[in-house]
Amino acid sequence: MQYRKLGNSGVSVSNLALGTMGFGSETPESEAFAIIDAYLEAGGNMLDTADVYGGGASEELLGRWRASRPADLTNKVIFASKARFGTGPDVNEAGASRRHLSRALNTSLKRLGVDAIDLYQLHGWDPLTPVEETLTFLDAAVRAGKIHYVGLSNFTGWQLQLMLSTAKAMGLQMPVTLQQQYSLASREIEYEVIPAALNSELGLLSWSPLASGFLTGKYTRKADAGADTRFGSDNAMMRHIGKDLFSSDRNWATLEVARQIAGEIGASVSQVALSWVTNRPGVTASIIGARTMAQLEENLPAADMQLGADATTRLDEVSANTPNDYPYGVFGRLQRHRYIDSSDQALRELPPA
């Protein structure tokens, strides 16, 4: 396992974090406990959850695991949770308002059985709450000792920059991480979000680094996702995600190159895909959502895997987004780039005839 700074903070975390979304709902408690123990034994130290995972079941399970283990083990763990989405039927049981976040934070602290949450993340943007209200609450929670660090998740570029600029201008606690979907099959955040994060030294936490299992290599283009897979389940969102993934020629081409590289270096497809995203610029850790011990054991070797320059270039090229529309196409790039010898800028940027 490798270790990196948690964004612009003094804390070090493993480059593979363990996502616990299905713990207590999909993964039985005994197996979840065994997975956590094995992950920590392998050198991992960051457990990621949220107040809405399993309706609170994930946080509760982590609390029971923590209570059942010795303090010298649990004290090594970086606990990360999130709040923003609905936790009940009332109109105010959602969002990033001071009222909702206060109640959500206290509930998460109680479930986890901790005095402070190491990384408390906004699970998404709230268009109804002024950013000043949200940021002042988070700052007060840090000062009160209930939160150690603040993180964001699922933000667009302008939303991220607004939060950062406002916090800086008001002298409030600055977020240190950004948790976003990022993988060989999902690179759109490279347009705006990653540059904004890098500019402010935020550590990127990539969720769904294996594209919900698509990048494990277990699917083939000729076969539909089975009913026993996430894409073939009754979950409407997962079916929609699967439809987008399976209909992309670029994704299938990327998967084929990943298979080739895996064969060349004696690794699995998932290990290749995980290594690629975990070693992208600005990425602090990839969040592996192991629902079974077998999945954890499959993914762990990726923590110490470094793809060679040739393999990385092949994956970069085959998975690259190729937008034509302004402002991300050729014409848009011409408006943003500048060279010292800028007289030949247009010739550098235009694609070959």
pLDDT tens figures, 172-181:
999 999 999 9
d(CA 259, CA 267): 9
**Catalytic sites, residue numbers:** 53
Tokens representing residue 34 in the block:
């065994």
Greater confidence (344 vs 215) lies with: 215
pLDDT tens figures, 252-265:
999 999 999 999 99
Q: In whole numbers, what is the pLDDT of the chain averaged over residues?
A: 92
- Region 34-40: mean pLDDT is 98
Could you tell me if 236 and 344 lie in one domain?
Answer: no
Return the pLDDT at 341. Answer: 66
Could you tell me if 248 and 293 lie in one domain?
Answer: yes
Ramachandran angles phi, psi of 211, nearest 5°: 50, 55
- Region 343-353: mean pLDDT is 55
Q: Are 110 and 59 in contact (CB under 8 A)?
A: no
Ramachandran angles phi, psi of 17, nearest 5°: -95, 155
Q: Which residues contact 266 (CB under 8 A, 6 or more apart)?
A: none
- When divided into structural domains, the chain yields a total of 2
Could you tell me if 181 and 107 lie in one domain?
Answer: yes
Could you tell me if 10 and 35 lie in one domain?
Answer: yes
Range(s) of the domain holding residue 340: 323-353
Compute CA distances 177 → 6, 37, 77, 79, 88, whole Å: 7, 25, 17, 14, 27
Could you tell me if 168 and 300 lie in one domain?
Answer: yes
- Region 118-128: mean pLDDT is 98
Could you tell me if 339 and 197 lie in one domain?
Answer: no
Return the pLDDT at 353. Answer: 45
Could you tell me if 190 and 339 lie in one domain?
Answer: no
Could you tell me if 80 and 111 lie in one domain?
Answer: yes
Which CATH number covers residue 194?
3.20.20.100
d(CA 104, CA 111): 11
Q: How confident is residue 166, by pLDDT bands cut at 50, 70 and 90?
A: very high
Report the SS3 class of residue 193: helix
Measured torsion, CA atoms of residues 204, 205, 211, 216, in degrees rounded to the nearest 10:
110
Is the pTM for the entire model greater than 0.75? yes
d(CA 229, CA 121): 29
Strand residues in the chain grouped as ranges (E) = 3-5, 12-14, 16-19, 46-48, 78-83, 117-122, 147-153, 177-181, 203-207, 283-288
Could you tell me if 179 and 270 lie in one domain?
Answer: yes
Could you tell me if 188 and 268 lie in one domain?
Answer: yes
Could you tell me if 24 and 84 lie in one domain?
Answer: yes
Compute CA distances 289 → 23, 43, 111, 238, 348, whole Å: 10, 16, 20, 15, 42
